[in-house]
Structures are given as C-alpha cells and as structure tokens.
Amino acid sequence: MEEIRAPMQSQVVQCLVRPGESVRRDQVLLVLEAMKMEHELRAPADATIAACLAAEGDQVETGQVLIRLEQGRLAPPPLPPVTQAAAVPVPARADLERLLARRAGTLDAARPEAMARRHAAGMRSARENVADLCDEGSFIEYGALAVAAQSRRRSEAELIAQTPADGMVTGIGSVDACLWGEAASRTVVMAYDATVLAGTQGARNHQKTDRLLGIALSRRLPVVLFAEGGGGRPGDTDMPIVAGLHVPTFAAMARLSGQVPLVGVAAGRCFAGNAALLGCCDVIIATANSNIGLGGPAMIEGGGLGVFRPEEVGPSDVQSASGVIDVLVADEAAAVKVTRQYLGYFRGRLAGGQAPDARMLRDVVPENRVRSYDSRRAMEGLADTGSLLMLRSGFGIGIHTALGRIDGRPVGLMASNPEHLGGAIDAPAADKAARFLQLCDAHGLPVVSLVDTPGFMVGPDSEARAHVRHASRLFVVAAALRVPMFTVVLRKGYGLGAMGMAAGGFHATSFTIAWPSAEFGAMGLEGAVRLGYRKELEALPEGPVRQARFDALLRQHVEGGSAERMAACLEIDAVIDPAETRDWLLRGLQACPDPSALASRRFVDPW
C-alpha cells in the first residue's frame, strides 16, 4: 500500500479519480491550490486507487494522507509499434502562436514596401547590416517588441506595424568567433532603422540604448553603432517630458570612451543625436553616400541659417577631409567588412602573419636626400601582408596613421609624409597623430613611429592657426603613454618635430634606431647653414662662388649629423640595415606588457 500525502497546506480543487479505478504512472490524481498556485499530484507508478480520503473543497494540512494506492494490480499494455503514421503533431499553444506572430511582425519581411524602397536606394536595412556583421545565429536581440511611445496618438496595431523595435535594433552577437573564440568575440551592436520614423531617437529606443551601453560597460564589450537618422523625436506622447534633456544615453556612450573599442558606422543621412553618438566613437567608418552633421536641414532652417538639401550638409568628401570620417568606404557591405577588420585589432594576436620581403625596405628612401617618396611603402614593408588599415587618410595628411599587425601582433603605425610640406608637421597632422596615440594607448597597442620630418611647420599663417597648442598635444599625449613606442628615423630627424614623433625625445622611446639614410639636426640643415654662416656667405660675391661655399658647408653639416655620428654619441640607439627593421620590432614587441594588464585610459579625445 502506498500513500499520497499533501506536500503543503492547501485546498483540494480537483479530485480526478475514484476508489477501484486503475491509474497509470504519472497520471494526475489531485489538484491542490496554495497561494493562488495550482499543484498537481501524480501517480508514482501503475496502480489501483484503494481509497480517496479528500474531496474537492477540503482544506488539507502538510503531510495529510489524501489517497491510498495498491500497486501491481494493473499490467501495462503492450507498446504499439512506432511508425511515421503514428506520430501525432502537438498543437501549438495559443500564447506561443501570439508570440511568434508578434516576433514575425518585427522582421523586414513584414514590411515589404519599406524594404523595397530601401533596396531601390542601394542601401540595406538595419537588420541586414546586423546579420552581416554578426556570426550566423549568434545575435540575441534586446527590446525587439518595443514600439514607439505614441499610444495616445495611434492604435496598438498601427504602432506594431509601423514602428517595429521603436526604430532601433539592439543586442549582442559574436563577430568572427572562429578566430577569437565565443567569449572574446561578443560585441554589443546597435543599429538605428531609418525606415522607422526616419531613424529618430524615441523614448523607448533611448531606453534600449541605455540598457546595452550599461552591459557594454559592465562586461567590457566592444560597441558597434550603425548611426542613421535624425535626433530627438517630438511625436512620442506617452512619456511626461518637456525637452528630454535628462536622458542618460549620450553620457553613457561617452563614458565608454577609453574603456572598450567604439565603432561608428554611418550610411545615408546621420544628423543631430545620431551624429552626436557617432562622434563619441573611436573610429567612424562612413559610406560614400553619407551625410553627417550635428544639425540637419530642418534644424538649420529653423535657426534661420538658410535652406539646404540633406545632401548639402556634411557630405562624405567634406567630412573625410575635415577629419570626421576615419575610413571612407563605398557602401554598407564594405563598411561591415572594415568593422570586422577594425575590431580584430583589439581581440589579440593572430598566428601565421605573412612577412613581406624585408629587402624592399632598402629602396623606400631615395638616395637623393631631397627627393620625396611615399612613406606608406615603409609601413607596408613592416606590417604583415594585407594587415594595414589606414585611418583618417583624408585629413592631416602630413602624417600617415594605420593599424596593422607584425607577426600577428596588433600595433599602431604612424609615418611622416614627405610628399606633403616635405614632412613638416602642421596643426592638422599634430592633432591626428596625438589622437592616434591616445587610441593605441587606450587599447594596449604598441606604436611604431617612422620619422622623416624637417620639424613643425612654421610661419605667420601656421601660427595664426594656434599651432603652438596643436603641436604641443604631441608632447603632452606622448608623456602619458603607457604602451611602448618604437621609433625608426628613415631620413630627416630635425628639431622639435622629430622629438614629437618620438614620444617627446629620442630617449623617451623603447628604442630609437635609424636607417643609413637618416640625418639629424636641431633644425633643417639648409636653414642652419644659412643662419649660422650668414655673414660669411654674404661676404662672398653672389653666384657660383657663394653657392659653392654653401654646398661645402651643407656637406659638413650633413656628415656631422649623420646617423653613424648620432649613434656614436649615443643620441640614438643604433643604425641598422633597413631590412633588419622588422626583426628589431619583433624583439621589442616580445618585451611588451600584455594589454590586459594596463588600466583603462580615462577617454579617447573625439578629436
């Protein structure tokens, strides 16, 4: 005899068996109710009901005997053969059917007209961009069922149909987990949907953004923001606000600067609040058809500043030259590809980087000491083949900046550009280099600096642009670097500009080495001769005699400032064969600290 007892103080709401009735294992015998919850009591085995000691409506105590069973009185029937025809489909529950229908309504397929317009414009949907970026099946979406906060103006059906996800797709997915592993590849992704209320920032998509930014900060996850659309949405009526200037979204985005990699992707029109969030990012990748501005046409006109078409406000060519755009690409597919590449530099080391032919470095610098050349060839000769990603190529062109890998290890590279102002560092180039150093320092990337500069740009025009302040940013930022810098002087290493390219001085770096083509001086050697020997030269008749004396003095200064003399006086650490440069860098990188051991930088300057 076996007894079924009450597991808790409760009330019998159903008694489903009678004495003498045969029951099977797991059959429901009684239903009890306690604290507004119903609990089923089931048969522990095939048996016969010997006695029912409780009836519907009875109050029972914990441990009270409710049913007595006699076992072994019922033989189990033979199991029927399992065939395909015997399989009976389980009917879908009504609540599940409602959920599946609701979720389907958030997808692109539920809005074919909007998607047709989008594709006709040569652009992809927010969900298509997210799907392209994240590994298949890895994206988990937060807030998919949100709709615009406009229930006082529109019906629920209309909001569900026309404002899916409140115009923003947010969630967490893996990006290239095959390379970095599942945990290391997790990335917060947020994509404004320009097909929903013009990509404006609604009350609920602000809430979604804040939720994901909080997760990114607490779990130290990179963030990718697809920014397209306008600013605040005045049509949301469900929230009792006046101006909405208390929302934490912008501060939350800015707070991530220096803590995790921030990638902004702009396609189409990106104005106002979208642009403000975009500008907080470490890097901005933008398509050729993008327009980026803190105010769109409506705001410009409202301010009495004229009437403009959206295409006239912050077009991509203007914003590339201004320094807003870091990487300019053809379309959204290219933008996603670059995003994947950029994120990879902050995931760690890759095995099997292919080294370029080191001998090509011997021919980068012309033998003619005043002939210009493309210093990007030196960057390509040091980095693993195909690993370079040039940043801010349209701005501050006096210095090239790039991310790359050396033997699979991510590094930052910057190089003087002799093809612009002879390599002189003007204000835009100084700003570009200083901000690049901050970016590398924030995320633990060692820096390789390739120097060929006559110094900082000088002259009344330059000084009128506050060059003193811009130039000094190089010294101040470099003095706070926690990552090592390795300096290679390719040719001209003159004056303060050369020191700025070397973290503030040739002994401020992990090492400073030079190629045989290098020459050094406190200022440009031609200028040093003209100033230091002015009286002597002016005493000679103008023409071949004076020029011959000038050339002789210049040769003396070139020889006196040679790389070998600098190394002999211990002002630099070594003079090397250019083909040995990568080997030097590899040895230096082996002694670098693990980036994870570095404390987070306070922030990366948006400019």
The Cα–Cα gap between 486 and 492 comes to 17
Could you give the CA distance from residue 186 to residue 176 in angstroms, rounded to a whole number? 9
**CA neighbours within 13 Å on the CB side: how many for 112?**
0
Of 74 and 468, the one with more pLDDT:
468
Distance of CA 73 to the CA centre of its chain: 69
Helix (H) or strand (E) holding 407: none
Inter-axis angle of helices 525-532 and 544-560, nearest 10:
120
Return the exposure string of 66-83: e unless at least 16 CB atoms fall within 10 Å of the residue's CB, then b: bbbbeeeeeeeeeeeeee
Query: What residues does 11 pair with on adjacent strands?
Result: 33, 59
C-alpha span between 225 and 256 (Å, rounded): 13
User: From edge to edge, which strands make up the β-sheet containing 65-71?
Assistant: 2-5, 65-71, 47-52, 22-23
Give CA separation, 137 vs 134, 140, 174, in Å. 8, 8, 9
Q: What does pTM read for this prediction?
A: 0.86
Cβ–Cβ under 8 Å, residues 23 and 67: no
Would you state the pLDDT for residue 527?
A: 77
Q: Has residue 119 got a pLDDT over 90? A: yes
d(CA 380, CA 405): 10
Pairing of strands 65-71, 59-60: unpaired
How many CB atoms are closer than 10 A to CB 64? 15
Element (H, E) at 168: strand 168-174
> What per-residue confidence (pLDDT) applies to 597?
66
The helix or strand, by DSSP H or E, that contains position 286, with its residue range, turns out to be: strand 283-287
Candidate from 76-90, 120-134, 301-315, 378-392 with smallest mean pLDDT = 76-90
Question: How far is C-alpha 15 from the chain's CA centre?
Answer: 61
User: At residue 540, does pLDDT exceed 60?
Assistant: yes
d(CA 192, CA 491): 48
Tell the residue number behind the tokens 């023409």, with chain if given. 543
pLDDT over threshold 70, residue 86: no
Q: What is the mean pLDDT of the chain?
A: 92
Q: 164 or 600, which is more confident?
A: 164
Angle between helices 126-133 and 332-344 (to 10 degrees): 40
Could you tell me if 225 and 186 are in contact, meaning their C-beta atoms sit under 8 angstroms apart?
A: no
DSSP string, 37-88: EEEEEE-SSSEEEEEE---TT-EE-TT-EEEEEEESSSPPPPPPPP-GGG--
Range name among 362-371, 534-543, 563-572 with the lowest pLDDT average: 534-543
Q: Which two tokens stand for residue 122?
A: 């040569």
* Weakest mean pLDDT among 86-100, 306-320, 373-387: 86-100
**pLDDT tier at 550 (50, 70, 90 boundaries)?**
confident
What is the Cα–Cα distance from 466 to 144, expressed in whole angstroms? 49
Give the confidence band of 600 by pLDDT, cuts at 50, 70, 90. low
Sheet with strand 37-42: strands edge to edge:
37-42, 28-34, 10-15, 59-60
Instruction: Provide the percentage of residues in the chain whose pLDDT is more than 90.
Output: 78
For residue 494, give the nearest of 475, 516, 520 by alpha carbon: 520
What is the 3 state secondary structure string of 323-384? CCCCEEECCHHHHHHHHHHHHHCCCCCCCCCCCCCHHHHHHCCCCCCCCCCCCHHHHHHHCC
Please list, residue by residue across 234-268, b when 16 or more beta carbons sit within 10 angstroms of its beta carbon and e when fewer do: eebeeeeeeebeebebeebbbbbbbbbbbbbbbbb
Whether pLDDT at 210 is above 50:
yes
- pLDDT (mean) for 199-211: 93
Cβ atoms of 408 and 391 within 8 Å: the answer is no
Distance set, CA 351 to CA 339, 345, 348, 407, 413 (Å): 20, 13, 10, 7, 20
